[in-house]
Structure 1
Amino acid sequence: MNDLRRLPVTAIPSLALEGVGFAHRGQTLLQPLDLRLTGCQRTLVMGPNGAGKSLLMRLAHGLLVPSRGRVSWEGRPPRQAMVFQRPVLLKRSALANLTYALAINGTPRRRRKLLAREALERFGLAALEKRPARVLSGGEQQRLALARAWLAEPEVLFLDEPTSALDPAAIQAVEDAVLDFHRRGTRILMTTHDLQQARRLADDIVLLYGGRLVEHSPASDFFTTPASAEARAFIRGELVW
């Protein structure tokens, strides 16, 4: 993907989670944690299934309200977008999914199809613009969701297991798109349980286990000198999934 339009050069607000915990029906799903994310980093949230990765993403993005503590952005809330493991798409064509999103965001009607087609071209979906979005392959649906996020010009992009169950070619396409967002000036916060993917993409790592924050460190430190027993076991593939 070429011809990047970089976002305006403004400081992305820092994200602070202070004493944030979450319980549901009397069960604590996320133990109170403190976490601060700054700059235009690629942060990958890792951990076994059930560790609390998706829950942390939804709390950070504001889709859920913490049971305790608070989530705040330094100075101002940034423009945000989120791409889920299973994209939520309308019963419309690929093109119409994008033009609808642009309409919701207040884009003038005369510009919607032009911008939508540019995004489809950028994400390799131009030939599929008339195809119903819900009959696209898993990889194509994920790229369509990324195209929709691209049009929102987010300063912060949340991705929840965006390559789960995709084939290697589709994984590569999604990872290329993630890097493209980052080069554009977007902060990335992404969940994965794939260690090799984290090695390829991460600037820093957040490790959760059993609903607890175990470690937050630069990726180079995490993989070479992990500070916790859980991190060492996770890297060896020994944590219970």
Structure 2
Amino acid sequence: MNDSIKLNVENISLILQERGRFLTLLDHVSLKIRQGRIHALLGPSGSGKSTLLYTLNRLRQISEGEIYLDNTETRSLNILDLRRRVGLVMQKAIFFSGTVSDNILYGPRIQDKELPDPFHYLELVGLNPDFTNRDPNTLSGGQQQRVSIARALANDPEVLLLDEPTSALDAQASEHLEEVVMQLCQECQLTVVWVTHDLHQARRVAQDVTLLYRGQMLEQGEAADFFAQPITVEGRAYLDGRLGGVE
């Protein structure tokens, strides 16, 4: 077991002011993400899963607390360097103009790095090299999400953030994508933080889990322990489908 902590989230809150009111999206959340493992963020709708995910590469800015990447506070890092090291794949694939190859090489180009071979990244995500010259907008949903992961991997990330990447895919495409991510995690020691609303998926892919509810962290631990016996009333209700989302 790898107990090295890749991301350490310490007592973070995210508070917005809207129309004279304060809205708390995250409320003193702490968690540890272990290196080379898949960590699932769970909870009903409106619990703060995606918000928390986006704070990890500063797409959302925290109001208080600290987030550490390899013991370095992320706000002290150059934002482009942070987002290279902590890649993000969103729920719906969004592409730049150009070919699949152009999209995969986008990150290395803006960093003025030596351009890698896009074939390598297509192979990593299980796509044929023939895809390089295709328009990504003509691909199936599952293929598009694989290209999104390939694009993130071309930046040589240490952490991959996944925001419900299979929610719009059919069962077969979802399982293929799960296999790709699990293999990358195992072979490349990639650390993955995966937001999912699908408990069956979380059982298949996750080694660690965090349960969020109304912006607070309720449980954190190994996935097998959580699914076997949650320690909170809310955790048991969530697994039974009785924990409602936030309106």
Q: Same fold (TM over 0.5)?
A: yes
- Residues 37 and 189, structure 2, Cα contact 8 Å, conserved in 1: no
| 2:50 paired with 1:54 | yes
In the alignment, which residue of structure 1 is the partner of 2:10? Answer: 18
Deviations 1:27-65 (A, max 9, x none): 111111222223322110011111100000011222222
Pick one of 139, 143, 149 that aligns with 1:140: 143
Aligned residue among 165, 168, 192 for 1:165: 168
**Is residue 181 of structure 1 aligned with residue 155 of structure 2?**
no
Asked if 1:105 corresponds to 2:111, the answer is yes
Contact 2:15 2:24 in 1 (8 A): yes
Rounded Cα–Cα distance in structure 2 between residues aligned with 1:131 and 1:174? 20
Q: Name which of 38, 52, 55 aligns with 2:34.
A: 38
Query: In terms of mean alpha carbon deviation, does 132-141 or 212-221 score higher?
Result: 132-141
Encode CA deviations 1:110-164: one digit per residue, 9 max, x unaligned. Answer: x54xx11222233314233222122322211100011112222211111111111
Aligned residue pairs total 227
1:27 to 2:23 alignment: yes
Aligned-partner Cα distance in 2 for 1:217–1:169: 29
User: What secondary structure, in the 3-state scheme, does the structure 1 residue paired with 2:105 have?
Assistant: helix
Q: 1:67 to 1:75 in 2, by over 3 A?
A: closer
Two-structure CA RMSD over aligned residues (Å):
1.9
Q: What letter corresponds to residue 65 of structure 2 in structure 1?
A: G
Task: Report % sequence identity.
Answer: 33
204, 220, 224: which is aligned to 2:224?
Answer: 220
Q: Does 1:211 align with 2:215?
A: yes
Distance 1:102 1:73, change over 3 A: closer
Matching residue of 2:86: 80
> Unpaired segments of 5 or more residues in structure 2?
75-81
Does structure 1 retain, via aligned residues, the 8 Å contact 2:12–2:62? Answer: yes
TM-score w.r.t. length of structure 1? 0.87
* Secondary structure of residue in 1 paired with 2:15: strand
**Aligned 8 A contact 2:118 2:132 in 1:** no
CA distance in 2, matches of 1:69, 1:191: 21
Among candidates 179, 191, 197, match of residue 193 of structure 1: 197
SS of residue matched to 1:97 = helix
Please tell me whether the aligned partners of residues 5 and 32 of structure 2 are also in contact (alpha carbons under 8 angstroms): no
Q: Please, which of 96, 102, 114 is the counterpart of residue 90 of structure 1?
A: 96
State the distance in 2 between where 1:151 and 1:136 align: 19
Measured in 1, the distance between the counterparts of 2:105 and 2:14 equals 36
SS of alignment partner, residue 33 of structure 1: strand
Does 2:118 match 1:116? yes
Deviation (angstroms), 1:13: 5.2
Change (3 A) 1:58 1:93: same
